[in-house]
A and B are shown apart, each in its own frame.
Chain A
Amino acid sequence: MPEPLIQFEGVNKHYRSGRVENHVLRDVELSVEAGELVAVVGTSGSGKSTLLNIIGGLDREYAGSARVSGQDLARLSDAQLSHFRNEKVGFVFQQFNLLDHLSCAENVALPAMFAVRQVNDARERAVSALSRVGIGEKVDELPANLSGGQKQRVAIARALFNRPPLLLCDEPTGNLDSRTGQQIIELFVSLNQDDGITMVIVTHESRVSGTAHRVIRLEDGRIVGGSEGSIGIGDPGAEAMEG
């Protein structure tokens, strides 16, 4: 049986803020198979983003075992972890996190700047990724001239640039109106179904979690429940998932 793409065993995360000890994640056990679309829901401060950061190798201050793509993240050096972030995962953030002084194509091609192997066709690949997310005509535009939905598409194109097997999305529709948010959700479903990309999406929105194969609920850093979902855009049953 193949190893799950994401395998967490007894992951704990806590930090001290003044005299207060915050236990952000408690004994998290998690397993995500390749090709799954998983939604992580929970109230603010429940540890959703922290979980996502650990999966993506952005946060390595934790206890327990976190294996992603067969690699124990705690054992990777900074260079290896950077390489992992460069090639194995793509991030999509609520705030888009585009660099305002770079054009759309340059933003998308940003991972190429830090790739271990030299990427000679970075611009072509950036244009291709932008076309894949439906904004191929905005190649040389600056982010400031784009709508929120277009910015998020650029961010998704950047996440897809190195064709990673795993996409990590932190509230990807949080800053978008409902119509644009719906388009982005459709894009995620398409990427998951058509391209086979495994997705972990942190969200508050039932529309998003309703599209997931599986929903994981976090409360005070613990996984308190998970449920099977069914892929289906606008599935009314998904509303029940809203926490």
Chain B
Amino acid sequence: MGTLLRLIRQNLRRNLKHNLLSAIGIIVGIAAFTFFLALSGGVRHVVLGEIFPVDRLEVIPPKSTLFGGARELNDAVVKRLRNPPAEVGVRPKAVYAKMKLAFPARGWGGKDVLRRSRDFYFEISGFCDGVDPEIMEGDVSPPFAFDDWLAGHKPAKCSKGNVCPEGHYCAWDLYECHRPVPVMISRHMIELYNGSIAPTHPGLPKIPDFVTSIFRGKTFTMELGRSYLGSQARQGGRPTHRRMQLVGISDKATPLGITVPIGYVKRWNKRYAGDKESENYSSVVMIVKSKSDITPLAAHVKSMGFDLTESEGEKVGLFITLATVLFTLISVMIVLIAAINIAHTFMMLISERRWEIGVLRAVGATRRQIRAMILGEALVVGLTSGTLGLLLAYAAARACDWYSATRIPDFPFKPDTYFAFSPALITASVGFAALFCLLGAFLPANRAARMEPAMALTMR
């Protein structure tokens, strides 16, 4: 084996120019193949992993039912969604209900975070969801927690002169000691601010990813029952104020707005919007174990008479897949043409080396050894070309990332890299190059192996 490898190395060195020329096609083809697949993987990661996650279904009440009767998303429905019947074949990884704030609300704050002289004022009604705190486990780190502090707990009274326990404040309009309401936001909010708001408002700083932690622990005020649009809650009495505290960033938080523990929303809705609004959920999110589980679970949801929100992720994913297939096909065509070139080169080399093959046969080389020698040369050309193609693709990818980072203005979800070079892709790239070279050299190798030594020796 070692001696055969030495012979292969010597042959390759001897035919370096031919081999380099034939390898160029493979290098270019594999570079294109790897570049497009890495680009597809990277873009898919950003788009489907962060902007439009495709690992979940969102169940909503039907827009209309046959006889006009409402179908409500309540705890019983959540239980059925969590435990689908056996014939569905799959179970969701997690199911959590969401409840929207159903009355006017507004908020203000942020001047200390963004170093402004005045607070920001923002509308909250329509931009606030409540979710089960359990679902946020792992997204909040100590000392903060995403808990419903009032669940099963009656707050202590406070008044002038009374001091609330540490971590509490005195809600002056209720005369009660409260902990701030924990709030989660999604990365969409940061991206939206960085990509759209900060660039158009001189003086507003951008928030790099690594400093998003500065938000944690910051508070702002929320007024329940009144909005900036001039509306006021029809029931519940006078508006009240709550101190809100940002405790973390999560992709399970509502993309546009704030997310709080669902217990708060239930209590607030009950007071300002009525019992019905505190019992029915606005939607239920089902997180799936794998993408293939989406179809049977979606069918199950439909069979229960509920609707699903349209998944932009599916559409974008389909587009990315189609684009990837197109570019991959082009790359494969390049590699195929290169393989034909390899076949031609090896055919020519073998034609030139007929006499030499005759000599090798005369000293004892078997057909199999001759075939192994030629295919070994092709394999080395393939592995080398594949590696060079891979490096070329990587260099091109880094160049694109550098261009994007330095020359393209920021936009929401602008990634640090558009490419994902997974171990599988790296293996596939080098493997494909080797495979195509072997395919190209297969016929020439067989032809060389079939040569009769006596005839081959006359070909000098």
Contact = CB atoms under 8 A, between A and B. Distances in A.
Interface of A: 50, 53, 56, 58-61, 78-79, 82-83, 85-87, 91, 93, 95, 97, 99, 101-102, 110-115, 122, 158
Contacts of B10: 101-102
B40 to A, nearest CB: 44
Contact of B452 (A59, A79, A86): A59
Given A50-B454, A97-B362, 11 more contacts: A58-B452, A59-B452, A82-B361, A82-B367, A83-B366, A91-B362, A101-B10, A102-B10, A111-B363, A112-B3, A115-B364
A124 B3 CA distance: 15
B369 interface: yes
A83 B369 CA distance: 12
B457 A101 contact: no
Q: Give the 5 A-B residue pairs with the shortest CB-CB distance, closest first.
A: A86-B364, A59-B454, A114-B364, A113-B3, A58-B454
A126 to B, nearest CB: 12
Contacts of A111: 363-364
A82 B366 contact: yes
B366 A79 contact: yes
Given A99-B359, A101-B14, A114-B365, A58 B453 contact: yes
Given A99-B356, A113-B7, A86 B453 contact: no
B360 A58 contact: no
Nearest to B449: A78
A229 to B, nearest CB: 27
A158 B3 CA distance: 16
B181 to A, nearest CB: 78
Given A95-B460, A102-B10, A114-B369, A85 B363 contact: yes
B362 A85 contact: yes
A127 B284 CA distance: 83
A85, A101, A112, A114: most-surrounded residue (chain B CB, <10 A): A114
Contacts of B6: 113
B457 A93 contact: yes
Interface size of B as a range: 20 to 34
B364, B368, B452, B454: most-surrounded residue (chain A CB, <10 A): B364
Contacts of B7: 113
Interface of B: 3-4, 6-7, 10-11, 13-14, 355-356, 358-369, 452-454, 457, 460
A111 B365 CA distance: 8
Contacts of A114: 360, 363-366, 369
A95 B362 CA distance: 14
Contacts of A53: 454
B264 to A, nearest CB: 79
A70 B128 CA distance: 96
Nearest to A90: B363
25 contacts: A50-B454, A58-B362, A58-B453, A58-B457, A59-B453, A59-B454, A61-B452, A82-B367, A83-B366, A85-B361, A85-B363, A85-B453, A91-B362, A93-B457, A97-B359, A97-B457, A99-B356, A101-B10, A110-B360, A114-B360, A114-B363, A114-B364, A114-B369, A115-B364, A122-B3
Nearest to A112: B3
A9 to B, nearest CB: 21
A58 B361 contact: yes
B8 to A, nearest CB: 11
